[in-house]
Every structure is written in C-alpha cells, then in structure tokens.
Amino acid sequence: MIQGTTTDAGKSLLVAGFCRCLKRLGYKVAPFKPQNMALNSAVTPDGGEIGRAQALQAQAAGVIPNVDMNPILLKPSSDTGAQVIIHGKAISNMQAKAYHDYKKVAMQAVLESHQRLTNQYQVVMVEGAGSPAEINLREGDVANMGFAEAADCPVIIVADIDKGGVFAHLVGTLELLSASEQNRVVGFVINKFRGDIALLQSGLDWLEERTNKPVLGVLPYLMDLQLAEEDAIQANQHIDKNNVRLRIAVPVFSRISNHTDFDMLRAHPQLELTFVPQGKSIPGCDLIILPGSKHVRDDLALLKQHRWDHDIAKHLRYGGKVLGICGGYQMLGNTIHDPLGIEGKAGFSEGLGYLNINTELQAEKQLTHSTGHLLLDNSQQGVVIEGYQIHVGASIREPDTKAFCTLNNGKLDGCMSADNQVAGSYLHGLFDSPEALQHILSWAGADTDKAQTYAQQQEHELDRLADACEAHLDWSKITNFITSQMSKNNRYE
C-alpha cells in the first residue's frame, strides 16, 4: 500500500508507476483504492463508476478496470455532503456525519472487493487517501491505516519534497501512527526532487537513522508529465504563441467534473487553452466550452453571478462558437427541472436559452460507453466519435432541432443551434479521438494538425513514469516485500 504525508504527495502516480513496473517484471497486478473522493470519475466496461486514477492505474497494469478497484467513491455535492457510490453504483447522498456512521458498512464493501482482487491477481497495489495521520479521521478509517491493518498490508509512505519540509512530513507522519502501524511501514519514497542528489544524502542518512526505515528511492521531478489528474486542474501549457490556431476558454465551476475532458486540448501545440477562474471575465477567444458539473443548477447560478452569461452573449455576437459538455450542455438549454431534489433542493432554473432543449434531473444515473458519428457536417455518415456518459439528466430536444451526434444504438445525442454557433453533448471524452477532435476544431474555425489518440498519449507518459521508477527506486527491496507478502498469503507463484 502507498500512503502519503499529504494530499497530492504522489500516491496516485506512484501506484501507477508500480503497476507498470510490476507488469514489465511479469507480475499480474491490479490497482485498488478503498475510498476515493473526487469529481473526476471513469465508467468501467460493466457500467460502474470509479475514480479516474484507478482507471489510469488499470491501464498502467494492462488490465480492464472494474468497480472492485475503487469500491467507495465519494463525489462532493457541497462542503459537507457527497454522493456515495458503492461498487460502482450511487446509493444515496449523505452529509459528512451520516457517512462517518456508515463507515462500518463501507468497510465491508472495501474488504469484499479487496478479497476478490487478491483472488485474481498476484499483486494488488493499494492507494491511500490524503494522509494516515489525520487524527480526527482515525476512528472507523477505511482509507489508510484502518484498511492496512484490516488487510494486513505493508505500507510505503511517499512525500513531496518540492513543497518543502519533507523530513518533517515523514517523521511527523510516522510519529502520529500507533506502534502496530509504525511497524507496518516498510520504507519511504521521496517524490519530485530537483537538483544534485548528493546534497540530499546527509538528510536521507539522518532519516533512516532517526526512523530505522529505509528510503526506497528519490524520484525526480518529471517536467510536463501529462497524465490524467483526478483532483486539481492542470492549467500549465507550453505553446508557441505564433503557432496558435484556436483560442479556447473554459470557465471553472465550483463543482466542475471530469476536467480530464480538456487534457487533449491542453496537450495540442496549436491550441491555447485558458481555464477562467471565478471572478474573472471570459477573455477574447474563438471557442468557449462549458464543462460538466456535479451540481448543475448551482453552477448555472454561479455562471450568472460572475456575469459569464454576458461574456458568452458578447462572444456569440462577435461570431464565436460555444460548446457544452454534460452539465454545460444542460445549462445551454431552456430549462432545468429538479423535481426530486437530486442535486439538493427541488426546483427549477432558467437555462441560457441557446439550445432548444429542456432538461429534467432523474433518480437513475446514466453510466455508459458510447460510440457514434458527429453530425456537425450535416451528414449522417460523419466522423466517428467515442466517449462515455455520466449524468442524471434527460434532455428533450424540441421538434426539428438538430442533434450533435448519432449513436450506434440508434439514439441521437446532444443538440445544435439553428445558426450552428452553439452545440452541446452528454459525451465526456469527445476530444480523445484525433478525428473527432480535428472535426470539432474545424467547426470552431481552425484547421489543425491531427493529434495522437488520448490512449497513445497516456501510454507514452505511463512508460515515462515507469522508466523513472525503475531507475530511481530500490527494486530488490521492493520485490522482496512483494514476494514475502505473497508467500505470507500462500500466493507465491
């Protein structure tokens, strides 16, 4: 199990790196995260919902993702509440106190999933959440040492040296663990180091002497690593301004979801992508994209509060294009009804009125992988598009309103405005296919070079991560831990 001294210490990436390295060594390996809190999720082939990081880690391991890899997913809907997803399906919305009382039931789901994975794989690489030293969260813990103790799992602790205070983070975290938990820690990994490693050596020697735990490696800072992020939006982009053919702006909602939709746009050398923070006006651009939202009516109100609706109207007057994805698609319509209070208080909101659709939020969530053809060129035989749907809304197009794409199951998805300036779709991942991306950018006004597929780009970056892990971690010690654990579990092969 990989645990971290802080959020964003490098747990997700280290598990992905371990999965790819162990796959290269010939192990049958799978990722596992007992409990995840994130608005960036993925749809498994069997129609479940898991954290985006576990889907990436499964790709690193070369296995098909399934709901056992992330048995509990919490999707925040407010500062104190979240949608609770167990084994891939949403069961209810809970406040923090209610979920705390639910943890005993949650732990059973976690242990059942872990057992199924250990029956199928030689190695299960477990990712913790946040920090194991959060004293207020220790009771009933299912995400860190509570799970490690229940599953009898050895632990590696990772810390981010780029933030500073790495020795205090590691020693302090270890000190706040119980004696049995301290004994469970088999070593440390230091992440994101820049500079001369020789200057760090005295600190490493001190750390090993102080804790009696080995430092299993120091990973370098991998500049511009383009792997799917689960939490923080990655806004960094290195482009030649003279080579930009299209400028894109994405307003950042409070409950923005699946922002990995924009990874391929950010990676394209001919696109300038700007994430617009709250309180700032949408800058001049060619295309505005309204992203998905976990709380669409609240984020629609936020959009109007920041006068982004006025920015969008001005943008359209000057001939710009607007695209909405999932929740952003719903906002572009005429109305959004939530009669059951699916996202909080029951009610009704006026949309922006650019697409001739009306949306009603419903109890059953749609979780599907979809393929089809774009209809941007007025052809029923348009460019192939692939994506996935995660939404609770049903949007009805008014008669004689053009759809965005036709799906292979015969259904139509999305909508286009009569003047061809505004479009929307429920499909996440619609930029991941090079042909679809190029076609959508052409609709927005740019002739761009064809990109690689998202899967190819992620494969390249996973190999880059694994190369660093192979070069800078002590694999003789790590594989000794693994074979010892396999033997202990009577699973040595």
> Which active-site residues does the annotation give?
326, 428
Answer for the pair 123, 27: CB distance below 8 angstroms, yes or no: yes
Q: Which of 155, 146, 151 is nearest to 116 (CA)?
A: 151
With tokens 């780029």, the residue in question is 162
Tokens of residue 23, six digits: 């796959």
Cβ-proximal residues to 56 (8 Å cutoff; 6+ apart), any chain: 12, 16, 227, 228, 458, 462
Q: Which amino acid is at 82?
A: A
Q: Which amino acid is at 84?
A: V
- Burial environment of residue 315 by CB neighbours within 10 A (0 to 12, 13 to 18, 19 or more): buried
With tokens 């693994």, the residue in question is 482
DSSP codes of every residue in 139-179: TT--SSHHHHHHHT--EEEEEEGGGS-HHHHHHHHHHTS-H
With tokens 């301290």, the residue in question is 182
- Spell out where 29-88 has E strands: 29-32, 35-37, 41-43, 49-51, 72-76, 81-86
**Which H or E element spans position 208?**
helix 201-211
For 255, phi and psi rounded to 5 degrees? -115, 45
- Burial environment of residue 378 by CB neighbours within 10 A (0 to 12, 13 to 18, 19 or more): exposed
For 159, phi and psi rounded to 5 degrees? -135, 150
With tokens 């889907």, the residue in question is 55
**DSSP category for residue 289:** E
Answer for the pair 355, 422: CB distance below 8 angstroms, yes or no: yes
- Spell out where 286-438 has E strands: 287-290, 292-293, 321-325, 335-338, 347-350, 357-374, 384-397, 405-407, 412-413, 415-416, 422-425
Cβ-proximal residues to 440 (8 Å cutoff; 6+ apart), any chain: 323, 374, 376, 430, 431
Q: How far is CA 302 from the centre of its chain?
A: 23
